[in-house]
Amino acid sequence: MSDTLYIIIAGAILTYLTRIGGHLVLSRFDRVHPRVEAGLNAVPAAVLTTLVAPAAFSAGPAELAALVVAGLVALRFGTMSMFFAGAAVLIALRQVLG
Amino acid sequence: MTVAYLNAPAQAALLDGARLGLPVMIASAPFGLLYGALAADQGLTLFETVLMSAAIYGGASQIVGLELFGQKVPPALVVLSIFAVNFRHILYSAAVGRRIGRWPLVQQLTAFFFLVDPVYAETENRVERGGKLSFAWYMGMCLPIYVSWLAVSGIGHVFGKLVPDPHALGFDFLVTIYFFGLVLGFRKRPLWLPIVLISGVASAVAYNTVGSPWHVSIGALAGIIFAVLMPVQREMEG
């Protein structure tokens, strides 16, 4: 088997383990301690933020403007509108600013 | 399984989920094209390119893996890097397990396979808004996202070279905008702002010191530990 296939298959198995692992560990306990519960409730904000932060901190004016506009739209409208508004600002400004 | 065999509420739930899959398909398409083009560059066949998307199904980890293919890195280290990028899913499965732990086992095992970032976010959103979390709704959302991910990976492999200027089209930053929107969607949760600030700063610092992909786990843990240490609040108010 080629290295590529080996990497894909091993990577897939380990990835599936990450997608099921947290539940396998947690389901061993009969009840979840309130502090663990509080930690789990923090997961969306905590994890998703780390996918944005490095790019946001190193962003130029076009990227920052796109995030600001997307953020404002997100306060009133749904995901679709937010995404398209941000994308439109990003692409328009990159044409101008390069 | 075809829609015809499902009862009316399940059909409605399936379509309800599919509606949420649409923005994810659009936001992830440039990312998938980029992955496919990069895979072609690295000498992967079309089959290997689509297989990697189908089996690993995690865009960032696929791209990190590809970048290491070209550098004569031992295969085990490439696998470890893929694992490191996807490590955050452990937290997703712990959090979502509370919601779907009563589903039949096969449904759970299937659902966990498709537990990518946007699916996780939309699932938490659904619970927060009091919606019913059914397998039909979940798969209605997941399947279009999955199929489109495989398709754009293959398209990127074949036609990636034809995109004139990916930077001008914002390819590298579109997914960041989308994730930013997902973060904002949770703003009514307790301690949201301090968690975002702490995780944001911690991940940016870790990104510039320890390096990628560890900034994700480090940044996430910083925010979660903060939430664990705070006085316990009633959840999901407001």
Complex prediction ipTM? 0.92
Q: Looking at the predicted structure, is the pLDDT value of residue A97 above 50?
A: yes
Segment A73-80 mean pLDDT? 90
Q: How far is CA B46 from the centre of its chain?
A: 23
CB contact under 8 A, A47 and B91: yes
CB–CB contact B215 A16 (8 Å): no
Instruction: Say whether pLDDT at B72 is over 80.
Output: no
Per-residue pLDDT at B148 exceeds 50: yes
**If contacts are CB pairs under 8 Å, which of residues 5-24 in chain A contact chain B?**
5-12, 14-16, 18-24
Asked whether residue A84 is domain-assigned, the answer is: yes
Which of B19, B179, B194, B20 is CA-nearest to residue B88? B179
**Domain total of chain A:** 1
Residue A3 maps to a domain:
no
| Cβ contacts from A onto B, under 8 A | 277
Interface membership of A50 toward B (CB under 8 Å)? yes
Locate the chain A residue with the closest alpha carbon to B121: A44
B contact test, residue of A25, A29, A36, A43 with most B CBs within 10 A: A43
Q: Which amino acid is at B30?
A: P
Helix pair B89-100, B117-128: axis angle to 10 deg: 40
CA distances from A14 to B2, B11, B78, B86 (A): 31, 33, 12, 9
| Within a domain: A67 | yes
Q: Which domain holds residue A58?
A: 47-98
Q: Are the C-beta atoms of A11 and B83 separated by less than 8 Å?
A: yes
Looking at residue B70, what is its pLDDT? 73
B98 vs A80: CB contact, 8 Å cut-off? no
In chain A, residues with a C-beta closer than 8 Å to the C-beta of B44 are: 4
Q: Given this model, what pLDDT does residue B237 score?
A: 45
Q: B107 to chain A, minimum CA–CA distance in Å?
A: 12
Distance from CA of B47 to the nearest CA of A (A): 10
Give the pLDDT score at B2: 52
